[in-house]
Amino acid sequence: MHSPDAQTLQTALNYLAQVIQWRMTTYFSDNGKSRDPMPSPSNGWLSQETPLTHFIGTHQLDTSEQLTLIIALAPHLQPDFFDRFITTQLP
């Protein structure tokens, strides 16, 4: 089984993936006019005590700041993370 650290990081990456997919879909369809709201993080993703959740809690990061942090971490955790979305939308 995965450690709580790995689970938290994977949950964060999954959330970032949802936001990127939402944003790219919004941008490339309907001339940027989406009626769907930005996805929200899952309710319990900050419930486990890990270094990432501790940092977010200590610094009281809002959703935008959490996404910025995850964007910075993503290439170090999964080097092809952004490539997958870009190639899906711009083959």
Tell me what pLDDT residue 87 has.
Answer: 87
Beta strands in the chain (DSSP E): none
Checking if the pLDDT of 59 tops 80, the result is: yes
Checking if the pLDDT of 1 tops 60, the result is: no
Tell me what pLDDT residue 61 has.
Answer: 94
Q: Which of 7, 72, 2, 17 is nearest to 44 (CA)?
A: 7
CA distance 40 to 91: 28
For the whole model, what pTM was predicted?
0.85
